[in-house]
Each structure stands twice: as C-alpha cells, then as structure tokens.
Structure 1
Amino acid sequence: MVGQHSSAGGMATLVSSVEIQVAVATFIASFATIKLFRYFQSNHHAAPGPWGYPVLGHLPLLGTEPHVTFQNLRKKFGDVFRIQLGAWPALVVNGKKAIKEALVEQGDAFSGRPQFYTTSSSALYDGQGLSFSQFNLDYLRHRKMANKVLSAFANAKSNPIEDAIHHEIDTVTDSFASKRGRSFCPHDDVFLAAGSIIYQICYGRQEDIRERKDFTDFILQSKEFTETVSAGNPIDIFPWLRFVIPWTLTNFRRLIRRSIESRQKKVEEHVTTFDRDHLRDATDGFVNIVNSNSEDMQVLGSRRIFSTIDDFFGAGFGTVATTMEWATMYMAANPEVQAKVQQEIDDVVGPSRRPTLEDRGKMVYTEACIHEIMRITALAPLSLPHYTTTDLTFQGYNVKKDTVVFINLYSMSHDPDVWGDPEVFRPERFLDSSGQINKALLEEFLPFATGRRKCLGEFLGRMEVFLFFTGLLQKCSFSRPPEVPEYDYGVGVGFVRSPKPFDVQVTLRY
C-alpha cells in the first residue's frame, strides 16, 4: 500500500510538473504572439529594410563608407528603407525627390537631432550649440541671429574677408615656392590657411597670426578633435559602454573642455576691450547682443549666444580646407582642366590684379570646375543625423517619432541616372549648350544640404573656396610627381571625406 501511494504520488507530481511546463510554454507562446502582433501593428506600412544582427542591428554591415552601403541597399529596397543601430531605429533617405521632401516639404518633422550620449545636454555638450540643439522656436531664433552676425563680419569693412584670404594665398604660395619643385603634401599649408581665415572672422584680424600661441593652440586642438571624432564613439549607440571603456569618454570630455575654455578666454578678452562703435569681429557682434539686453539675449541667454562661435568654426573650417586639398589633387591629376581654368583667370583678371568675388560671374568654366570638385568629392555624404520630431507619413510609409534619419546626399551627387559617369571628373558636365552654367544640374546635388539644418557657413564656404582656388591657380601650377603613377582617390576614416595623404609638385607661374 505504501508503494502504491508512493507511486501515485510520483505520478501526480509528474502530471503537475507537465501541467506547469505546458502552462509556462503556453504563456511564453502567447506573450511572444502578442509582442509579434504589436510589432507588426506598430510597423504597419513601415519602410522595408535588410535583416540585422541581434543587439548590434546593422552596425556590422555598414562598412567604412556607410553612404556607399546605403547606395547599394537602395537598389534593393528603394529610396527609403529602415535599419537598426543598436537600440536606435533609423531611416535612410536617398535620391533627390525623397531628400527634398524630407528636408524641405516636411522639414520641421525631420529637423530634430538625436540625443546621442556625446551630444546630449547630460554629457559633454550643454545643449546650447546650433549643430546639435533640438529643433524648436529657440533654435530658429538662434540660427537667424547667427546668420546675421556671420554675414555682417564676413563682409565688414573692418574685417574684409577678401584681404585676409589674399594674405593667406601669399603665405601659402611662399611656402610652396620654398619647396623649389620638390614633391610635398599640401595638407598643412591648406589646413593652416583655412583655419586662419575663420579664426580672424571670429576673433579679429591679426597680421602675425601664425606666430601667436592662441592660434597655434587652436590648430592643434582642432586636429586632435578631428582625429578623435573621426573614429566615431560606440558610446553613442551603446551608452552602457561608458562603464566598460570609460577612457573614450574621458578623452572626449577633455577635448571639449579645452575648446570651451579657449573660447571663454577669447570672449573675456573681447568683453574687456569692447567698443560698441567699433565692432571688430563676430565675437564683438555677440558681445554687442549680450550687452544690449536684446530680445535674443533675453530668450537665448549669453551662454548659448557665445556657443555660436564654436558652430562658426565647425561650419567654416574643415569644409574649406578639405575642398582645397581635393582641388590641388584634381588639378595636379588633370592638367588640361587646370590649363583651362588658368586661361580663364588670365583672360578675366590678368597676372597682376587679384581675383575678387565680382569676377565670379565672368569665370564660368572655373565655377563649373568648383562645382565638379564639390560633387565628386561629396565631403559630407550623410550630413549630421536628423531625428523625427513627430509621427508622420513619408513616401507612403509610416515613420515613428524619435527615429534617427540619415540623409544620403551621396545618392544625389553620384546618381548614375543623373550624371551618367559619376565617378569621372568632368567639369564640362555643368555647362549647357551655350557654355553657361546649367543651373538645373545645381539642383541635383547638395554639398551644403538644404532646409532647416542647412550648413550655416554655406555662403562663406563658397566665397572662400572661389577666392582660394582662383588665387592659387593664378600664381601656381600643380602637377603629379613622376614617382606617383596614379593618385589614390580613396578617403580616410571619418565624417568628412578627406583625401589620404598625397604629394604634388608646384611651379610658380609668375
């Protein structure tokens, strides 16, 4: 009897165990079904996209040039598709029609910025700068104020940008001449010249700028910062990594802190020497706004107003320097194009008078050449990431609020349906049948983006590139060294498509 009771008890326990397992399995299956249902419900009419990896999403699939990867995925999934970056849902937008709908027609909905850890107000930045601030009325007011100050001091008689650029061209030409025909890399000369211009717009004309420690420190800090951020920071995608690899954040914080301290020191110097009747530079422009207790000051505050100086450096430095680096390479590699540009400069300007902005409309082939350099190099192929500010319908798909958006500008500048041979350097493509600039083609690529987040320094960048380009080619001819059979047009790792180190030879024309 005892054995029978024991056997019955064991059977009951077994049955109970099976029931529990079935119940648990049923619960898990039901839970999974509900989650799956909600997933498909929430993604109803969502954009298509490739399968990614658990946790990592599509990060391992992007490669060293994500814009090229996106261009290839576009062939399969269309102009709009979705990916996953760790925990961040993301949308990739390609092609002229979709990009302009996002940035212009639905610009407000696409003008947010994702609050990655390194750009959030709780981490490194204070959320005050234009580049990474949230899109709202304060942002619009801030941007309008910044445009007004930059325009005023890029054209001011007290700080004539053309004179400053001509001085830098002379300095660069002297450096090139000192090489006496030997092969050399032009990076440092071009980098210093571009840095000098934006530095003087922000902090005033300085004849001995190359010997000043504050400028030297600025250049060194800029290079270190660029090298650091070019590699990206995994903490932005996986914030918990800051506890695993804290040194990446520590170094980033150090660079940001040094930059802010340098800027604050220059602002304090300007406050001490400020004269309302003699505004010397952009910083004086901001001091004037703060002192006047204007509406901008009352709404934005002095801290945010002065942070705009950092945005100016970001907008007017790297783009110009990198464009001019590429320009020297393409001229050295294409002597027939260089000869046509120089002939046009000689015809319009001559050997002694310096090129000015007033000459731009008369130098059609030169303008076409600059457009082609900007198109083929696609310096910022993805621009800074955008962020949706609301739920919306876009290109027939439902897009959720708080979605990271990558605008693939490269898909426009290298669209074979538009350009035919997008990988070929051919300035003539921008000329119409009458030999004038084909303005319709200028709408087919966006080197400075467009819409609410359009590059703040576009007009300044275009101005600088034209004056640098014509000023250097008036005085110098570039050639590829004999020991370099072909240039490598590959790019280094980073947000901006910078050329790998390369050498040129320079011959002075006059």
Structure 2
Amino acid sequence: MPTVIVLIVLLLALTYLAIAVFSKKKKKKSDGKKLPPAPKWRLPVIGHAAYLDKDKPFEQIDKWSKELGDVMTVHFGMDPVIVVSRERLLNEAFLKKSSNFSGRPSLFVHESCWGKGLVIRDGKEALSLRSFIMSTIRQRIVSSADCIQSLVSTETSHLIERLTARIRDAEASTSSASESFATTSTMTSSFATTSIEDDLFYVVGNVMTQLAFGRRYDHGSVEFRNNASWLTTTTELMQRTAMITFLPWLRWIPYFKYFEIKRKAAEVHATMIDDIQIRRKSGDYLNHSQHDLMSVFMRRIDEEAERIKLEDDGSLFTDDMLARIMTELFFAGIQTECNTFGWAFLYLAIHQDVQEKARQHIWNEIGREGEIRFENRRNLPYIEALVAEVQRIANVAPFGLFHKNHEETTLDGYTIPAGSIVMMNLYSTLLDESVFEDPRSFLPERFLSPSGELDQRAMKRSVPYGVGSRVCMGEIIARTELFTVIGSLLQKFRFSLIEGEEYSTEQKMQLTIQSKKYRLRIDLA
C-alpha cells in the first residue's frame, strides 16, 4: 500500500508540473514574442535531457540544431537553455552583443561544491578579477628567463631526453636479446612505447605549476602524480553529477555521488588554502622577483587589506578566492590540454602522411636541431595549421561554459528573455560543412592557402576556445604548448600504431571529449 501511495503522489506531482509547464508555455506564446524553437516531446520534470546520450550528448544537440536552426531552446530539466550554433550567430551574440551575453548563470553543483570562483562569477567584480589574471599571464609572455615559452621549451626538452633514453634502452634490449638467440632461428624484437597523455602530463602540469606556484617536479615524479590524482577523480565525479545542476533533487540519489564530490571539493580547497598559508608564513611571496600567480595575487591581497581598512569596503582578493582560482586553473588547464595532445598524436599516428609532411617541413625550415618556438610560427605554417586542425576535429570542449544574457534581446529574429542560460554549440560550429569542407576528415591543409601560407580567414573561423569577452583565459598558454610540443616531438621522433592493439577515433564525453586510452610505438626520426 505505501508503494502505491508513493506512486500516486509522484504521478500527481508529474501531472501538476506538466500542467504548469504547459501553462507557462502557453503564456509565453500569448505574449506575442517569438521564442527559439525547441525539440518535440519534452518530458515533464526532466525536459529533453532524457534524449541525450551521456557519452555523446553533442551528437543529439548537433542533430537538433540542424533541424531547428542556429538558435534553439533545449530544456535541461525545467530550465530552458538557449543553444547558439555556428559562426554567424556566435559572432552576433558573443562579439556584436558581447557585453549582454558575458554573464554567468547560477550553477547549483559548481556553487554548492566548489564555491564562486572566477569561472562562474558575474558582474563588474568578475571583470576586475579576470583583468588581473590576464595581466599576470601577459607579463609572463614578455618576461625573459621564466616566460611561458621558456617554461614550455624547458619541459619539452626534459620529455625529449626521457623518450630518447627509453628508445635507447629498448634498442639495447633488442641487441642483447638478438645476441642471446644468435645460434637459433628465433628472432626477438623490442621497441619503445609511449602513453602520450601520461608522458605529456608532466610537461603540461609543470608549466601550470610553475605559472601558478613557482615550482616544478621531475618528470615521472610519483609525488606529482599523486598530488594531481584529484583531477581524474574529480572529472569522473563531475560527469556523474552533471544533471544535478538542473535537477538538484537528484543529489539525494546515491548513484549521482553528489556528496562524494562535495567532500572531494572541500579536500582540494583545504589543500590549496594550506599551500597559501605556508607561503604566507614563509613570506617568500613578498619578494617581487617572485611572479608566479600565487605570489602576485597574495601581494594584491595584502594591498587590498590595507585599502579596506581605510575605505571600509569589501574585496574579492582573498585567500579563499585565490584557492578557488587555483583549483579552476589546474582543472581546466591540465585536463583539456592533455586531452588535446592525446587526440593530436592519435591522428598523427593514424595519418602517417601528415606526420611525415610535418616533419619534413620542420627539417626544411629550421633543421633537425633548430629550436621550435611559438613566436617563430610564421616560419612553420604547416605546423600551425596542423595544431588548428587537431583542435577543430578533436572538439575537446564542445559546449564551453554556460553564459547568461543580462537584458532581453533578439537573435535571428527570436526573442531571448533576460537572464536566459545560453550555451555555445562549438561542436556543430567546428564541424559546419558550409565552413569546413569534409569536416570529419583530418586535413591540416584546410588552414593553408594554395601557396602554403597560413589562411588567416580560415583560422579565425575555427573557435575551439570560444568567442567573445569570456574566451578561455589560458588560450595563449595552450597555443604555445601545442605548437612547441607537437613541433618539437615530430622533429625528433616518429610515432606509429602498434600492431595488434586497438585504436579508435570515436568521441566520448567526460566533461571534455576524450579519446580512448592508447599506446604508440616511438622511434628516433
């Protein structure tokens, strides 16, 4: 009997919600405003979420965008989300109307677990914080000894040494085994392998660690790997809890592991706070020769503390905010960059012709020993085109972060109510057949002119970092890393598939689009 009563109550609740939704929809129509179209068969409570494959939600969103147009409404739970697709509308919303569409909506999981850091903060205070972070990053672009390029080049050199040693060891092993079996007909073979994302984790991680904290770890460091293990755990948990953002009541269902990610977030935050307190006790951050982000931010915190005493005002420059920003930088910077490298070398191993063309291009332009630096990319247009194509086809962040429009406006003739949740559909934009011919093929040449120069117009039409005033803050870091590392490794090594192992370019999403884990054979070029 209790079960029957529960079912009846649930049915009544769903019916009530369905009527409420219908009434709300009817009222909107009667307002005389033309709202963006939505897919059919919207379900009570959960909306259109039921139709999204958890591993490939981007495919259904892409399908709907082709059916309904470049501006549409998809209901995630009870919340209508305005989905904006393809170049024309992205530019209109996030460039022409950037000030209106630069807001961030309230996101339950992020705010209740991680707090309001910089990523989801809205308003003038967010602009001030973002400006400060960007200014600090720009300083590291032009500084000499420890500029971003210098950090990337140094870490890439360490990786090259490590991979070279691995190849030498494999060759020595093969030679030794061949001598042992010289009197028999049995031959042995050995070759070096790389799980490229794991190897590049130390390059990406060390660049971020030095920029953020002013310290680095040896490649292969178990301590660093253990310290950063929260990244993998958090990614898995956040994927599980994604729908709770729109259906908060799901947090009470154990499957979604909401309270587990809440505990993990608290642990990470406490670790960041401990690091800040250690720096504060040592006082080393007060030395202005220390210009890692933590030191610069802590000096600003001290300045703000003095100002607040005089002006009796508040400030976002606090230890708590610094800890949140550090967490966001690490999570966004390391995960997405390693994923992109994973796709890059998978495609290069599959497309040996592209890999060889890139290598010959490097050798012809700067030789086998010349240093590859981002500022010299004009001499290596094929490598820059290759990086652009990797980012386009990998499509690692297919939707970016949610936006919010501050005021009511129109897009493509449709009314966008003030305070709407707005999503960039970068997936469909980067695979738009009207812009990129044969978009699912790996063709770096699409970013080159007939004469072999970089096609700047084509480059501008590929927007893996998003569009507008809230474009990814780490863009210059990521571009420097991708160009330098891919070019440097192709200059020194050959990467190929290992016979008997399985490879796939099938895309699956775990917060970002990731490739299936794989190993490659690696030889000296």
Q: What range describes the TM-score normalised by the shorter chain of this pair?
A: 0.7 to 0.9
Deviation at 1:31, TM superposition (A): 11
Partner of 1:341: 358
Partner of 2:6: none
1:281 to 280, 283, 292: 292
Partner of 1:24: none
1:483 to 490, 500, 503: 500
Contact kept, 8 Å, 1:270 with 1:287, in 2: the verdict is: no
1:260 to 245, 269, 272: 269
Deviation at 1:496, TM superposition (A): 1.1
Deviation at 1:263, TM superposition (A): 1.5
Q: Give the residue type in structure 2 aligned to 1:196.
A: N
Residue identity over aligned pairs, in percent, reads 24
Partner of 1:495: 511
Q: Secondary structure at the match of 1:46?
A: coil
Q: Give the residue type in structure 2 aligned to 1:291.
A: D
Deviation at 1:424, TM superposition (A): 0.5
Partner of 1:166: 153
Q: Does 1:373 align with 2:405?
A: no
- Deviations, residues 52-81 of structure 1 (Å, cap 9, x unaligned): 112211001122322222221122211111
Partner of 2:477: 460
Partner of 2:78: 87
- Deviations, residues 241-270 of structure 1 (Å, cap 9, x unaligned): 223439712111122112212211222232
Q: Hey, what's the Cα distance between the residues in 2 that align with 1:32 and 1:378? A: 34
The 1:37/1:477 distance shift into structure 2, 3 A limit, reads: closer
Q: Secondary structure at the match of 1:320?
A: helix
Contact kept, 8 Å, 1:383 with 1:409, in 2: the verdict is: yes
The 1:306/1:367 distance shift into structure 2, 3 A limit, reads: same
Contact kept, 8 Å, 2:409 with 2:418, in 1: the verdict is: yes
The 1:257/1:80 distance shift into structure 2, 3 A limit, reads: same
Q: Give the residue type in structure 1 aligned to 2:301.
A: V
Contact kept, 8 Å, 1:88 with 1:403, in 2: the verdict is: no
The 1:160/1:111 distance shift into structure 2, 3 A limit, reads: closer
The 1:205/1:163 distance shift into structure 2, 3 A limit, reads: farther
Partner of 2:201: 191
Q: Give the residue type in structure 1 aligned to 2:131.
A: K
Matches within 5 A, 1:84-163: 84-120=75-111, 123-127=112-116, 129-134=117-122, 136-163=123-150
Partner of 2:259: 250
Partner of 1:221: 230
Q: Hey, what's the Cα distance between the residues in 1 that align with 2:21 and 2:145? A: 69
Q: Does 1:59 align with 2:59?
A: no
Of stretches 355-364 and 138-147 in structure 1, the one that deviates more from structure 2 is 355-364
Instruction: Report the RMSD for the aligned CA atoms in angstroms.
Output: 2.6
Partner of 1:3: none
Q: Secondary structure at the match of 1:274?
A: helix
2:37 to 48, 61, 72: 48
Of stretches 306-315 and 390-399 in structure 1, the one that deviates more from structure 2 is 306-315
The 1:74/1:341 distance shift into structure 2, 3 A limit, reads: same
Q: Give the residue type in structure 1 aligned to 2:37.
A: P
TM-score by length of 1: 0.86
Q: Hey, what's the Cα distance between the residues in 2 that align with 1:194 and 1:78? A: 38
Q: Hey, what's the Cα distance between the residues in 1 that align with 2:489 and 2:25? A: 62
- Deviations, residues 294-353 of structure 1 (Å, cap 9, x unaligned): 879964231334533233223432222112111111111111111121112222332233
Partner of 2:68: 77
Contact kept, 8 Å, 1:276 with 1:288, in 2: the verdict is: no
- Deviations, residues 69-108 of structure 1 (Å, cap 9, x unaligned): 2221122211111121111111111111111111112223
Deviation at 1:385, TM superposition (A): 1.6
Q: Hey, what's the Cα distance between the residues in 1 that align with 2:398 and 2:274? A: 34
Contact kept, 8 Å, 1:286 with 1:306, in 2: the verdict is: no
Partner of 2:334: 317
Greater Rg by CA: 1
Q: Hey, what's the Cα distance between the residues in 2 that align with 1:490 and 1:48? A: 30
Structure 1: any 5+ residue segments left out of the alignment? 1-29
Deviation at 1:233, TM superposition (A): 3.0
Q: Hey, what's the Cα distance between the residues in 1 that align with 2:203 and 2:512? A: 18
Q: Give the residue type in structure 2 aligned to 1:508.
A: L
Q: Hey, what's the Cα distance between the residues in 2 that align with 1:337 and 1:70? A: 31
Q: Hey, what's the Cα distance between the residues in 1 that align with 2:31 and 2:260? A: 40
The count of residues paired between Structure 1 and Structure 2 equals 474
Q: Hey, what's the Cα distance between the residues in 1 that align with 2:406 and 2:255? A: 31
Contact kept, 8 Å, 2:240 with 2:257, in 1: the verdict is: no
Q: Hey, what's the Cα distance between the residues in 2 that align with 1:344 and 1:321? A: 25
Q: Give the residue type in structure 2 aligned to 1:131.
A: V
Q: Secondary structure at the match of 2:494?
A: strand
